[in-house]
Structure 1
């Protein structure tokens, strides 16, 4: 199975560092960041887990629950967590799925045979409250993930979920956004009464909507 944008993530129950975990029950009605690792005690992933642990308040602020996945057993995960705390100065503060039988990796399409027949690739899923995939990123083993960019993308996805706008290249929270081409000028006047800048008929920028 290969999950694509707006596909529904299948439910599963698997062991984790937080005990047996049913994904749908754990996620509830929140957004979710799920990110996978090829195995425990890998150097790049050690830094990534530490980075996410430090950033957890930022994910919490956005209503996003964080969960990791690695194909080793839960006892190994707990030992790895001690290394993460020692080397990254950050305690593991979110569940890490123990996917020893690779069942979840199979459900989520995380085994890429050209990369490895046994190890999961390093993928990020952003999942909405309806359990749909809203973003997916897959990295090579040698390249650490940029979680500041993932937070930026979450800001964009959540903003554009609420308002009829899109975000331009390199956009950051608080900067101008783009009015969707599907919104005519008359509707735009009602939605954006303070006006906008029309660079072209199809490219209209406006201040980020208030409260977003």
Structure 2
């Protein structure tokens, strides 16, 4: 089901494409996404305290975590490019942290509407704290929404990206509270032959349908 039918993208949908002006120049989303994971996140407004802590957190992790996992960052708020540039410089001057990743200037709210970042119950003129993780094929793999007054968990975003990539590479699932290095869950058998193989496999099992292994 696509964005045109639901009003907002869903997990498993093709990520909506767009062209936009950003702090690093003009950007086409599908080009930016090609061959890389993308963590696309919105914030309510520039020069606001919670947003400043969040954007700084992303900036600090951009090279050490996201770049090493073939993941690009992309921010957005319903502010002008001039406001974005001024805010980026203000944070760099006061903290030494530079937001090197592009930040979309969405003053007409077109991208926010396309991606379902506007939640009228919160505000009709500001994007909520949304996070979309998009795989290199342009498919949305995870969506998180936070209210305006609660900052995101960077640890959870990093955990989810790692989990999604681990699952894609190993055809497995992750149990409750999974952390990198923990055992992963194997797909359940779908034939009697596979069931017999599972029972005799020596894997760590609660029962045949819940078997785990280390990677």
TM-score by length of structure 2 reads 0.89
Task: Answer whether contact 2:59 2:101 (CA < 8 A) is retained.
Answer: yes
**1:140 and 2:147 aligned:** yes
Higher mean C-alpha deviation, range 194-203 or range 36-45: 194-203
Question: Aligned residue for 1:153?
Answer: 160
Higher mean C-alpha deviation, range 84-93 or range 68-77: 84-93
Task: Answer whether contact 1:125 1:133 (CA < 8 A) is retained.
Answer: yes
Question: Aligned residue for 1:201?
Answer: 208
**1:2 and 2:23 aligned:** no
Could you tell me which of 40, 44, 48 is aligned with 2:50? 44
Task: Specify every segment of 5 or more residues in structure 2 that has no aligned partner in the other structure, as ranges.
Answer: 1-6
- Whole-Å Cα distance in 1 between the matches of residues 36 and 170 of structure 2? 19
Question: Aligned residue for 2:81?
Answer: 74
SS at match of 1:130: coil
Question: Aligned residue for 1:114?
Answer: 121
- Whole-Å Cα distance in 2 between the matches of residues 38 and 88 of structure 1? 21
| Distance apart, 1:27 and its partner CA | 1.9
Counterparts in 2 of 1:67 and 1:199: CA distance versus 1, 3 Å? same
Counterparts in 2 of 1:155 and 1:184: CA distance versus 1, 3 Å? farther
- Whole-Å Cα distance in 2 between the matches of residues 42 and 140 of structure 1? 14
SS at match of 2:113: helix
Question: Aligned residue for 1:98?
Answer: 105
CA RMSD of aligned residues (A): 2.2
**1:89 and 2:96 aligned:** yes
Counterparts in 2 of 1:183 and 1:42: CA distance versus 1, 3 Å? farther
TM-score by length of structure 1 reads 0.90
Task: Specify every segment of 5 or more residues in structure 1 that has no aligned partner in the other structure, as ranges.
Answer: none
Task: Answer whether contact 1:48 1:145 (CA < 8 A) is retained.
Answer: yes
Task: Answer whether contact 1:33 1:124 (CA < 8 A) is retained.
Answer: yes
**1:14 and 2:35 aligned:** no
Question: Aligned residue for 2:66?
Answer: 59
- In the alignment of these two chains, the number of paired residues is 207
Counterparts in 2 of 1:199 and 1:20: CA distance versus 1, 3 Å? same
